[in-house]
Structure 1
């Protein structure tokens, strides 16, 4: 009986650990250049960390990664003020866990935290074209996914089937990927060995599970309603600036996924 309870305790410890962190062996960092639907849209940039342990990967925005680490170390908290929130704000706040069978996505919407799951069913077409990107020999692959046509360049020199955002299941790490209109262009700028437990990987293990279609509906409604910010911000000038940006974003909304399939 004592052995039984010890096993139960061990299982619970492993379960809790798996819900709140991620064992990291390698890290790939990506830069994203993206733009909205305006014909003269100015490109914007953001960066992301892809944490890898061989069988799984975990992807999150670099600013969110830094902010979550600071929260965990109690250097900032929910009362740190709007300036801190703006410093670490991003258009891409979701966390994405990738396994061979499923994708697990956690995302804040309108001050609530939701999560959804989807099947990991990427069916790539490998193209007999090669190029050197940085120091890696890369091969071309194409796919139609989420309402866009994508071109990826991957390398078997880094034998992990992962990449930025949800993209994965190629015979090597994705070094570069972009859609045909180049609204979204991901490029890896750093790859290194790591060996640590990222306690701040998923700060929201108790997020509410919803259907994917529902969370996308929540996001569109939030973007279309800039009055969401009224109850969050007291300073009139800051509120006017944020509402103006929100209205502009709603008008030219260009999500990475044009369809949820």
Structure 2
């Protein structure tokens, strides 16, 4: 009974904090200057499902979806919930907190890919940070094949960001792009996952899409840093959230309870990148 009480207590405290922060975030959103948007000319779109595990404390996995926007020279990657909410924001059709909360996601950043560089914009504690990194993944192509989403795919492997990754690419889709930061193979990456299967991307649709995405990156006032500096900010994000949460909780016992949970979350956090490179 005590554990059940703790669970519900944590649930209501978290829900209360999220609602308070949602109000702040929503008001920040509506101040965005629409004409500052970065556009992206789309020729094709590949949509992916991601199964992922954010914590090492259990085997619980979550699921979300992403859109990979593609043209002849580059790609742009973002969570589909963010894609929809950004589009509604630009069109001034997102008018209430309840509507905004429908599109909440663990992945609020954007990734642009060219042959030379990766351009990353991430949102940390409601502020935007950007960095660049070289696009230099070293793949080892294997003589193994399987079918993914109806496409014949070939296997490739690489070690990147502290994990070993297995990818399956489709040469019949002649674009060297893929989900997240993975690219550089002679065909679209249809599936990619780490050997622990903590993060598993799978293509579920590929289609032609001739249009200009006006809301590709709605980030404003982006602070450009090195990747090392952004990683440092990101590492401390839960501490920042804790300080933000404390302003909403007057009860000392509740504040201490949230602090202990934040410390446990930091200890067990399982990011997609275990190392910077």
What's the TM-score bracket when you normalise by the shorter of the two chains?
Answer: 0.7 to 0.9
SS of 1:199's partner is: strand
Q: Are 1:252 and 2:268 an aligned pair?
A: yes
Q: Displacement, 1:89?
A: 1.8
Q: Displacement, 1:214?
A: 1.1
Q: TM-score, normalised by structure 2?
A: 0.79
SS of 1:213's partner is: helix
Partner of 1:89: 104
Partner of 1:203: 218
* Moved segments of 4+, more than 3 Å: 83-86, 231-234, 239-249
Rounded Cα–Cα distance in structure 2 between residues aligned with 1:35 and 1:133: 22
RMSD, matched Cα: 2.6
Q: Are 1:168 and 2:207 an aligned pair?
A: no
* Consecutive unaligned residues in structure 2, runs of 5 or more: 1-34
Q: Does structure 2 conserve the Cα–Cα contact (< 8 Å) formed by 1:48 and 1:60?
A: yes
Partner of 1:119: 134
Rounded Cα–Cα distance in structure 1 between residues aligned with 2:260 and 2:57: 19
Partner of 1:40: 58
Q: Does structure 1 conserve the Cα–Cα contact (< 8 Å) formed by 2:37 and 2:215?
A: no
Q: Does structure 1 conserve the Cα–Cα contact (< 8 Å) formed by 2:116 and 2:135?
A: yes
Q: Displacement, 1:233?
A: 6.2
Q: Displacement, 1:84?
A: 3.9
Partner of 1:14: none
Q: Does structure 1 conserve the Cα–Cα contact (< 8 Å) formed by 2:66 and 2:80?
A: yes
SS of 1:140's partner is: strand
Q: Aligned ranges for residues 214-225 of structure 1 at < 5 Å?
A: 214-225=229-240
Partner of 1:10: none
Q: Aligned ranges for residues 22-37 of structure 1 at < 5 Å?
A: 22-37=40-55
Q: Aligned ranges for residues 57-136 of structure 1 at < 5 Å?
A: 57-76=75-94, 80-81=96-97, 83-136=98-151
Structure 1 residues 146, 25: closer, same or farther in 2, change over 3 A? Answer: same
Rounded Cα–Cα distance in structure 1 between residues aligned with 2:90 and 2:176: 30
